[in-house]
Amino acid sequence: MKLDYEIKGGDFASAGSASSQVKKVLARLNLDPKLVRKTVVALYEAEVNVVAHAWSGQISVDIDPSRIIISIKDKGPGIASIDRAMEKGYSTASQKVRDMGFGAGMGLPNIKNNTDKMSISSVIEEGTHLQFENYIR
Partner 1 sequence: MKLSQVVKLTKGKILCGDEQLESDLGQAFSSDLMSDVLTLGLTDILLITGLVNLQVIRTAEMADIKHVLLVRNKTVSEDIIELAKSSGICLIHSPVSMFKASGELYHAGLKPIY
| Contact assessment for residue 122 and residue 38, using Cβ atoms and an 8 Å cutoff | no
Give the Cα separation of 18 and 16 in Å (integer). Answer: 6
Q: How far apart are CA 37 and CA 26, in angstroms?
A: 10
Nearer to partner 1, 19 or 134 (CB): 19
Closest approach of partner 1 to the CB of residue 12, in Å: 7
The single residue among 25, 35, 86, 104 that binds partner 1, judged by CB under 8 A, is 104
3-state secondary structure of 122: strand
Backbone angles phi, psi at 47, to 5 degrees: -65, -45
**Could you give the CA distance from residue 46 to residue 71 in angstroms, rounded to a whole number?**
10
Which listed residue (113, 121, 124, 126) binds partner 1 by CB under 8 A? 113
Looking at the Cβ atoms of 41 and 136, the one nearer to partner 1 is 41
Report the site for partner 1 in 6-65 (rule: CB under 8 A): 12-13, 15-16, 19-20, 23, 33, 37, 40-41, 44-45, 48
User: Which residue ranges make up the site for partner 1 (CB under 8 A)?
Assistant: 12-13, 15-16, 19-20, 23, 33, 37, 40-41, 44-45, 48, 100-104, 106-107, 110, 113
